Amino acid sequence: MNLPKKLLDLSPVQGSYCLVERNKVNDLYREAGFDLDAEEIPNFLKVDGADCLFTENFVEKDGKEYEIIMIANGFSWEDILVYDEDELEDE
């Protein structure tokens, strides 16, 4: 996939994205050992060794709902995510 040069020039890191059917996302979290009823679950997981950010943004295609999942390329989401100060105060 050819990425737009302008975006590549502006971006310090690159990755890819996938659309994953909403109910399959829950399966990925279960496979990673998370209880979906837990109060807090991370928005990033390793899937087959790749750092994946679950955006909680959804799109519809062919009558099914999909979550946009961003896959890191050579970096860790945990290392670069920025949290709102309100989120930090709650911890």
Q: How high is the pLDDT of residue 85?
A: 57
CA distance 84 to 24: 28
Q: How high is the pLDDT of residue 89?
A: 54
Q: How high is the pLDDT of residue 2?
A: 76
H helix intervals, 1-91: 5-10, 22-31, 77-80, 85-90
Q: How high is the pLDDT of residue 73?
A: 87
Query: 0.75 exceeded by the pTM?
Result: yes
Contact by Cβ (8 Å): 25, 67: yes
Q: In order along the chain (91 residues), what is the average pLDDT of each group of 10 residues?
A: 84 90 92 84 91 95 96 87 62 51
